[in-house]
Every structure is written in C-alpha cells, then in structure tokens.
Amino acid sequence: MNPLVNRIADIEELVAVCAGEIGVRRVQMTNEFINPSWPAAAVARLAATFNKAASAHGLEATSAMTGLYARISNLGHPDGDVRDWTVAWMIRFAEIAADIGAPALGSQFAILPHAENDDPDRRDRAILAALDCWERIWAGAEKAGLTYVYWEQMSIGREFGHTIADAEDIQSRIAKRGIPMKILLDVDHGDVSSENPRDTDPYAWIAALGADCPIMHLKQSTANKGGFWPFIEPYNSEGRIDPARLIGAMSEVRDAPTELCLELGFREREPSDRLAVDHLKRSVEYWRPHVAS
C-alpha cells in the first residue's frame, strides 16, 4: 500500500482500488492508513471499515509494516524514553494488525544517528538496546495474536543489514534472544559502497538469507540502486529482476511461500504522481504469470 500514501486516504477507496483496479488480493498495511497515534475511536472505526470493505472485495492484509512516516531513529534513538514510546507505539500497531487479520508486524531493525553508528562500542550497545525493544514488541504482538515479527535489511550501516555479513550477524543475535523475528529482503537494497559484489546482488541475498524470508519487497532494480522502478519498459530491459529467476532462486532455499510486495516509488510531480495506480496494475500483470494467485 505504500505507493498509494497521500494519493488515497479513504479506506474503502483504498481497498476498492487495490482489489479492483490494481488486481491484488493481498496487501501489506502501513501505518499511514491506520496510525497507532490517532485517537482510539478513529483507529477502531477505520479497522472495522477496512475489514468490511476487504471482505466485500475478497482482499486480505497479510502483514503490517511501518511506512515512510515512521522511518525515524525509533528503536535506535539514544534516549531510552523515546525508545520506550516507540515500543508502545509498535505494540499498538501490532494490535491494529491483529484487528485487520494480519499475522505479522515489521519495521527496520533500528536506525542510528551517525554518532552512534560510527563508534563501535556505542553501535553495539544500540544493537543490544534494540534487541531489548524487539523482545518487548514481540511480547505485545504475541499477546495480540500475531505469529511473528520481521525486520527489513537496508542499504547503509546505520540502518542495519546493509551487507550480507551484517544481516547475518543481526539474525544470529535475534536467534540467540529466541525472538520469532524473520527477515524481509528488499531486492533493491544493499550497500553500493561495499567492495563485495554480493552485497548488491539480489540473488546473492536470496541465497544467503532467503530461507528465513517470508516477505519480499519488489521493484525493478538496477546496478546503482537508483530508484523504486515499476515493472514496465524501459526499466525491465535495464533491470536485474527477472520473475522466473527470482522465484527459482527462492525455491532453492525456501519451501514455504513468500509474499511478494510491490514497493514502487512515484515522485510528487506530474505526470508521475497520477501514474501510481496504472504502473502498479501493469507491474502486477507482469508478475501474475509467475506467482500463485
């Protein structure tokens, strides 16, 4: 749903466009549409509206995730009170996820300021603090009825998971805590400054971490990681994401299904601003022959 933020606000319209015009039956809900910070009565009403509209259109929310409005220091903030507030906010979001039938909640693992990231000791302490936060988030999510949480690997060190080695380290730390926390792979992420070419190769990421990846963010990706391109020309000819190859790579490392979520970007400029729905629809049509309905 992220590409539709600010372009659609009404929940009934959102569901109708996703199920009707774009042609999908599963969506990842982001907090821009039902925000944990909004009044409780509004949140409850919007969740009920979503459920009614989704039922009418044969749509379901398969996960919930923080969107651009929540991409801040959050769980990596150096102030403990701010982290505590974020944990409470995430737990409320987990409750929203449960209310709309989504079994999972995710976000970035944490985001650090430069000062924390550049000092190895402070970075390690921040990781430990973030793990403490995720333990508490999972406790609230489990109580709400969710089955797992997840984090997204990113492209710079202060947002974590920028290299395969760093993502594997975070996954190892999570496993030691016993948190049922999976990884969301984004085919366009990875540190372009890394000297290891595997760190910007989406298929290398799948080989290394795809086994524990129940959700994947898709966009057409180029070698310079230059944009959130739709699956249309000329991007398909220039890009590296081939549906058959990607699904084949996932099938080699993972037996369970993986949700493929289109995370496309459209600038707030004309005509791009009004192309979002059409390009989402065309991208869905491009992928449809390769995926289970």
- Host domain of residue 283: 2-290
Residue pLDDT, tens place only, 164-196: 999 999 999 999 999 999 999 998 999 999 999
- Output the average pLDDT for the chain: 95
Per-residue pLDDT at 260? 97
Can you tell me the distance from the alpha carbon of 42 to that of 202, in angstroms, rounded to the nearest whole number? 40
Outline where DSSP puts E strands in the chain: 26-30, 60-65, 104-108, 148-152, 181-186, 215-218, 259-262
Per-residue pLDDT at 227? 74
Can you tell me the distance from the alpha carbon of 68 to that of 184, in angstroms, rounded to the nearest whole number? 16
Mean per-residue pLDDT for 222-237? 84
Per-residue pLDDT at 66? 96
CATH of the domain at 229: 3.20.20.150
Residue pLDDT, tens place only, 57-112: 999 999 999 998 777 778 999 999 999 999 999 999 999 999 999 999 999 999 99
Of the candidate ranges 126-140, 191-205, 225-239, the one whose mean pLDDT is the lowest: 225-239
Can you tell me the distance from the alpha carbon of 186 to that of 183, in angstroms, rounded to the nearest whole number? 10
Cβ within 8 Å of residue 62, ≥6 positions away: 26, 27, 28, 102, 103, 104, 259
Q: Does the pLDDT of residue 33 top 70, yes or no?
A: yes
Residue 181 corresponds to which tokens in the numbers above? 């926390």
Candidates 258, 268, 266; CA nearest to 283 is 266
Q: What percent of the chain is modeled with pLDDT above 90? A: 88
Can you tell me the distance from the alpha carbon of 233 to that of 43, in angstroms, rounded to the nearest whole number? 39
Q: Does the pLDDT of residue 1 top 70, yes or no?
A: no
CA 145 to each of CA 24, 34, 104: distance values in angstroms, whole numbers, following the listed order: 25, 18, 9
Per-residue pLDDT at 121? 98
pLDDT band at 293 (very low <50, low <70, confident <90, very high): low
Q: Does the pLDDT of residue 222 top 90, yes or no?
A: no
Mean per-residue pLDDT for 266-282? 92
pLDDT higher at 165 or 5? 165
Provide the 10 A C-beta neighbour count for residue 259: 17
pLDDT band at 32 (very low <50, low <70, confident <90, very high): very high
Edge-first strand order for the sheet with 259-262 is: 26-30, 60-65, 104-108, 148-152, 181-186, 215-218, 259-262
End-to-end Cα separation, the chain, in angstroms: 18
Residue pLDDT, tens place only, 35-54: 999 999 999 999 999 999 99
Mean per-residue pLDDT for 101-125? 97
Mean per-residue pLDDT for 269-278? 92
pLDDT higher at 223 or 152? 152
Q: How many domains does the chain have?
A: 1
Percent composition of the chain: helix, strand, coil (DSSP 3-state, to 5): 55, 15, 35
> 42 with 3: CB under 8 angstroms?
no
Per-residue pLDDT at 265? 86
